Amino acid sequence: MVLSGLPALHETLNSPSLFPLKRRIAVRAALCGLTRDELLPFLRHRFDTDADRVPKESHDALFERTRAIPGVIDQVVRHALRARPGELYGDDIDASLDLFA
């Protein structure tokens, strides 16, 4: 059996009521979010030259508020890029973060 879910799944399995189940589960792999150093390469991989439109001063907020989850980062940045052609500003990223993170 394979269990897959967001980080909340791990927390849920740690609840006392699920102890009998948890002791029968062996965690073989857990995917974590990106490290801070991986954010810019991830943006460049996903958005190519559009990654340069994401203001550098927004990278910390993007990293922290998305909990470095690649799928959430993708959703936030994709929304901001669609919402404003041309140069993005910190407010554009913040507005997308408010919607998705």
Find the range with the poorest average confidence among 24-28, 58-62, 70-74, 75-79: 24-28
Owning domain of residue 72:
34-100
What's the pLDDT tens digit per position in 17-51? 999 988 888 877 777 889 999 999 999 999 999 99
pLDDT score at 27: 74
- pLDDT 10s digits, 81-100: 999 999 999 999 999 999 99
Distance separating alpha carbons of residues 39 and 48, to the nearest angstrom: 13
Query: Is the predicted pLDDT of residue 10 greater than 90, yes or no?
Result: no
Residue 11 lies in a domain: no
In a domain, 2, yes or no: no
* DSSP secondary structure, 22-57, as one string: HTT-----------GGGHHHHHHHHHGGGGGGS-GG
Asked whether residue 22 is domain-assigned, the answer is no
In a domain, 53, yes or no: yes
- The verdict on residue 56 lying in a domain is yes
Computed from CA positions of residues 16, 20, 25, 26, in that sequence, does the dihedral angle turn out positive or negative?
A: positive
Within-domain flag for 65: yes
Residue with the larger pLDDT of the pair 29 and 69:
69
Q: Quote the pLDDT of residue 53.
A: 96
Confidence (pLDDT) at 1? 73
Residue 78 lies in a domain: yes
Q: Taking phi first (over 0 means left), then psi (-120 to 50 degrees means alpha), and beta for anything else, what does residue 26 get? A: beta
Per-residue confidence (pLDDT) for residue 30, from 0 to 100: 73
DSSP state of 18: G
- Give how many domains the chain has, as a whole number: 1
**pTM to 2 decimal places:** 0.73
